Amino acid sequence: MCRNIRTLYNFDPPATDAEIRAAALQFVRKVSGYNAPSQTNEPAFSTAVDEVAATVATLLSALETTRPPRDREVEAEKARVRSRARFVRIV
């Protein structure tokens, strides 16, 4: 999976349309191999991004859980700690 695609489910506040679209864009870029498609392929690329974003939004609204929503700031701090541990400088 692309490193830039983040978990969007079960957060408080819920994922925004912009976050869903960004994840869909990353997914379509990864699958297609295009960072920026040619003019010829742009309509198909844009349609794919729109369809993936709509499908993800449908999925997120249909999922159910008994777990409490995660806090974005807490999860971001956990990611920062993991990053610091991963990229620690050895002198």
pLDDT for 1 beyond 60: no
Q: What is the pLDDT of residues 67-88, one digit of tens each?
A: 998 888 888 898 889 888 888 7
pLDDT at 5 over 70: yes
pLDDT for 4 equals 63
CA distance linking residue 49 with residue 58, whole number of Å: 14
Note whether 66 and 9 are within 8 A (CB): no
Q: What average pLDDT score do residues 52-70 get?
A: 94
More confident residue, 20 or 87: 20
Does the model's pTM come out above 0.85?
no
Closest by CA to 9, choosing from 61, 47, 53, 85, is 61
* The two structure tokens encoding residue 84: 């610091």
